[in-house]
């Protein structure tokens, strides 16, 4: 097998001192090398430029590029972060931008059902807050004005448009906090490329809200936990994962048990549990669907009686 990883072999035969053939051979070899390098040339250009790179939910894209076009991924998170910092300039994730600081408190953002690329692109088109700067495409590229998910060109354009429109609204003092922060897909966590500490390896409260209805929004959950900074990840219409990186369970309990805070949720049969307790309940139910476990409004009939409560009102803990 050749060094290209295929069984193809190229044999060059030349007469000595044949300058014309030698020049043609150089062109052929260069073309073959360029073809074989493929996207590696783009990766090298991105790395050499040190220009800011914008992604949407792009951690897996960065992992893929580093592994296939740089070197095998290291075995530790710290080594991976160092590798990325050595290869690229600043990296921004639009999924992080829209969920951070003052941007996350905008009413239009809090009303979002999710922060997928499609949902954020719709937000840019439908809400006046995000109309600037205007994006104009040159002739021949009008097809990209129409949503075309998972088309590489459209995805890149949509990501750039979201970054341009959201970043202009972000206060300068908040911009540094999102630099190098990459969202971990299908989780409430992020990786912080430019910080030694990381949410993935730091302690904090992890809660689950169950028995939710479609009338409960992300904004409602944020208000319930104010003034704590939380991250909400919806598992489905009836369950949400609440991550509070900088607060303990005791602090969360104190907030939601304060007068008038959570009564309306308790009245609706909504419960808040620690993540470990929800996992215990799921195991007790022998893998049955959570909706079945919640079909009866009595807590004991859901199996919660087997978990010792640390709060008599909303949160149960083992």
8 Å CB contact between 147 and 118: yes
- In the predicted model, residues of the chain with pLDDT beneath 70 are 1-18, 21, 199-203, 285-318
Encode pLDDT of 11-57 as tens digits.
656 555 567 767 777 888 888 888 888 888 889 999 999 999 999 99
**Residue 289: per-residue pLDDT:** 46
**CA 84 to CA 70: how far, in whole Å?**
10
**Residue 299: per-residue pLDDT:** 39
Question: Kind of pairing, strands 91-93 and 53-55?
Answer: parallel
**CA 37 to CA 54: how far, in whole Å?**
24
**CA 39 to CA 44: how far, in whole Å?**
9
8 Å CB contact between 318 and 310: no
Residue 233 bridge partners (DSSP): 241
Contacts of 237 (CB under 8 A, 6+ apart): 212, 213, 214
**Residue 278: per-residue pLDDT:** 84
**Residue 279: per-residue pLDDT:** 82
Contacts of 293 (CB under 8 A, 6+ apart): 281, 285, 302, 303
User: Which of 194, 134, 202 has its CA nearest to residue 164?
Assistant: 134
Phi-psi region of 4 (alpha: psi -120 to 50; beta: other; left: phi over 0): alpha
Place of tokens 């719709």: 122
**Residue 16: per-residue pLDDT:** 57
**Residue 273: per-residue pLDDT:** 86
- Helix extents (H) in the chain: 19-37, 40-49, 59-69, 77-87, 94-97, 101-104, 107-110, 117-126, 152-167, 172-178, 218-225, 249-256, 263-267, 275-284, 290-293
**Residue 4: per-residue pLDDT:** 46
């Amino acid at each position: 097998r050749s060094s290209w990883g295929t069984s193809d072999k190229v044999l060059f035969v030349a007469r000595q001192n044949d300058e014309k053939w030698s020049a043609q051979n150089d062109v052929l070899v260069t073309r073959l090398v360029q073809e074989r390098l493929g996207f590696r040339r783009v990766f090298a250009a991105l790395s050499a430029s040190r220009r800011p790179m914008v992604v949407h939910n792009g951690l897996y894209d960065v992992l893929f590029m580093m592994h296939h076009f740089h070197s095998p991924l290291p075995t530790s998170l710290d080594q991976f972060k160092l590798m990325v910092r050595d290869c690229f300039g600043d990296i921004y994730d639009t999924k992080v931008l829209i969920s951070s600081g003052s941007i996350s408190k905008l009413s239009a953002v809090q009303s979002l059902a999710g922060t997928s690329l499609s949902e954020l692109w719709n937000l840019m088109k439908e809400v006046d807050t995000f109309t600037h700067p205007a994006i104009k495409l040159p002739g021949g590229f009008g097809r990209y004005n129409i949503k075309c998910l998972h088309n590489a060109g459209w995805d890149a354009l949509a990501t750039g448009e979201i970054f341009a429109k959201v970043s202009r609204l972000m206060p300068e003092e908040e911009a540094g906090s999102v630099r190098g922060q990459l969202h971990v897909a299908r989780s409430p966590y992020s990786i912080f490329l430019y910080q030694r500490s990381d949410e993935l390896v730091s302690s904090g409260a992890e809660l689950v809200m169950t028995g939710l209805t479609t009338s409960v929004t992300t904004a409602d959950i944020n208000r319930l936990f104010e003034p704590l900074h939380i991250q909400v990840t919806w598992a489905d219409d009836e369950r949400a994962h609440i991550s509070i990186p900088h607060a303990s369970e005791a602090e969360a309990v104190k907030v939601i048990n304060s007068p008038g805070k959570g009564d309306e949720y308790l009245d609706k049969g909504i419960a808040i549990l620690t993540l470990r307790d929800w996992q215990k309940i799921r195991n007790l139910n022998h893998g049955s669907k959570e909706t079945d476990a919640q079909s009866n409004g009595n807590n004991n009939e859901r199996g919660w009686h087997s978990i010792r409560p640390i709060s008599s009102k909303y949160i149960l803990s083992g």
